[in-house]
Amino acid sequence: MNTQHVQLVDAEPAFRVRARYTDATVTVYQAYPPLIGRAAARTGRFPSAWKRDRMTWIKPSFLWMMYRCGWGTKEDQETVLAVEISRDGFEWALRHACLSHYAPALHADRAAWKAELARCPARVQWDPERDLRLAPLPYRSLQLGLAGEAAARYADEWIVGIEDVTPLAAEIHGLVRAGEPERARRLLPRERPYPVADEVLAHLRA
């Protein structure tokens, strides 16, 4: 079993989008204070307290979200949301995104990168994927930052549904702490390699 796991990890490419998705939608995760998170889950839309003028980061990886929000225990991240959005919207954001950091292999110079950063309404950051104990894995997980037009489209056009998955996060965390990783793993959302065209990610992998 351990050998198979290592082989799967070794075979995983460093940069690949993995997500829970259907033919029409993809699920991303965010964490908010209860005032925002519970209202969003109740109505299927973000409330007026949600700031449209701030960049909002969405994450297709459930376990990376757990790492970021501490299983829903960090201050102002107590409500974990699974936000189902259209695949068309998600891919629009990728096509209109730039890297959040300067990459010599992709940018002529820092000035060119900064100009791209100012022009693009979305940005991509790749961070180490996490295992059940939130330890880093040797391949990366996508974070997608949305601002300006991208944030407006996200809030007003792309959202299909919003679910409060805080209880799920607490249940999985409890099983991990109790030393029952297999039971915890069975509860994880099923994330698969997301079928996005290579040219969509070509300018975002570095």
Report pLDDT digits (tens) over 110-154: 888 888 888 999 999 999 999 999 999 999 999 999 999 999 999
CA nearest to 60, candidates 99, 21, 16, 27: 27
The predicted model scores a pTM of 0.91
Report pLDDT digits (tens) over 29-54: 999 999 999 999 999 999 999 988 89
Distances in whole angstroms, Cα of residue 178 to Cα of each of 54, 71, 95, 131, 189: 38, 15, 42, 16, 20
The b-or-e profile of 48-69 (16+ CB within 10 A means b, else e) is eebeeeeebbbbbbbbbbbbbb
- Mean pLDDT, the chain, integer: 92
What pLDDT is attached to residue 29? 98
14: left (phi over 0), alpha (psi -120 to 50) or beta: alpha
Task: Identify the bridge partners of residue 85 per DSSP, sorted by sequence position.
Answer: 26, 159
Report pLDDT digits (tens) over 4-14: 444 344 578 88
CA nearest to 159, candidates 25, 49, 51, 20: 25
